[in-house]
Amino acid sequence: MPIGPNYAGPVLNTQRGQQFIPELWTNEIQMFRQSRTLSVNLLHTFYADVVKGDTYHIPRISELAVEDKATDVQVALQANNDTDYTILVDSDKVTAVGIDVMLEVLSNYELRKPYMKVLGYALAKDFTGAILALRAAIYNTAAYNVFASSNGLITGNGLPFSYAAYLAARTTLLENDVMDGDDLDNNLVLLISPRQEAAIMNINQFISKDFISNPPIDKGFVGSLMGTPVLRTNFIGNNSLTGWRNGANGVLEPTPGVVGSRYLPKQDAFTTLPLTFTGNAAPVHTAILCHKDWAAGIANRNPRFTQSFENREQMEAIVGRQVYGAKLYRPGHAVNIHTSNAIV
């Protein structure tokens, strides 16, 4: 609620105080969080009022069969779930910032925007890390991996992202009978690193007007490759033990999907992502080509934000909290593409 008329002072006065409505901050933080999270494009996210420890049951219907109808014979119903599919809400995260109590900052959107933005970004990066960790669960199944190397394996010399690697990954999805076949390209997403983006700029099918109808970089998307939207994220880089930082002052730690990381698949069997191609010791970047059915997540309907005035420090404390869980839904609907970090 607006600050009432009993507060006055050289900075905080009733006229300015009436403009300060903290409830607006939650929507602003959510807006920035949603603009940076990959969940919208990469997986099915179910939103509900959940807390850590909850188990969420969702349907996962398998491909149905058809049979001849025999006279006076009952129709045999097929199970609507091929397995009992549940997602556990296993992550409960918080982030916080203290804002100096100057009403010009608290009530002016442009001045408080940087604070709201970093809060939303921190929450988005955390959820994105959990999604990217699922690449390690995909890596656990050899058939769902494509290696851009001299011998097509991690044992060869690592090579940059290539059109051949993309086609190999797409072929795997097609052979797995990914659903929505006629609309497949509209439901696929290719997620790449900045260095893989630089390599992809050398693929004629990506940059030539003969193959695309839009500019290579447009409205946040890198572009499309034979109809598949391509998204670039700096959350993907060298798979390493020192490639992820939790905040500007955080220590370097393993990247999502690498053993020792804070982001590992908690509800799926996994094998740690490879760090280098053994042929030439080239660092590995793991892109992913996936259908949105490949993974599912359950998240609190909205991140929770609380505010309190800390009189001793004369600041406003803003705390954001989110709970979620993420799990493989249809493993055959995603393929890892492992490339070197070379641009070309």
Considering only residues 182 and 323, tell me which one the structure prediction assigns the higher pLDDT: 323
Write down the mean pLDDT value for the chain.
82
Of the candidates 125, 190, 130, 129, the one whose C-alpha atom is nearest the C-alpha of residue 339 is 190
pLDDT digits (tens, 9 = 90+) for 226-268: 778 888 888 999 999 999 999 888 899 999 999 999 999 999 9
If we measure between CA atoms, which residue out of 121, 120, 126 comes closest to residue 92?
A: 126
- Structurally, how many domains does the chain consist of? 1
Domain containing 133 equals 22-344
Question: Is residue 4 a part of any domain in this protein?
Answer: no
Rounded to an integer, the average pLDDT of 49-62 is 85
The answer to the question of residue 165 being in a domain is yes
Token pair in block for residue 99: 């804002």
Q: Is residue 11 one of the residues assigned to a domain?
A: no
Residue 120 has pLDDT above 80, yes or no: yes
Assign 8 a pLDDT band (cuts: 50, 70, 90). Answer: very low
3-state secondary structure of 100: strand
More confident residue, 277 or 180: 277
Give the separation between CA 72 and CA 274, rounded to whole angstroms: 58
Q: Does 171 fall in a domain?
A: yes
pLDDT recorded at residue 339: 96
Helices (H), 155-245: 163-175, 184-187, 194-200, 204-207
* 273-298 pLDDT, tens digit each: 999 999 999 999 999 999 988 999 99
Query: What CATH number is associated with residue 38?
Result: 3.90.1690
Residue 5 inside a domain? The answer is: no
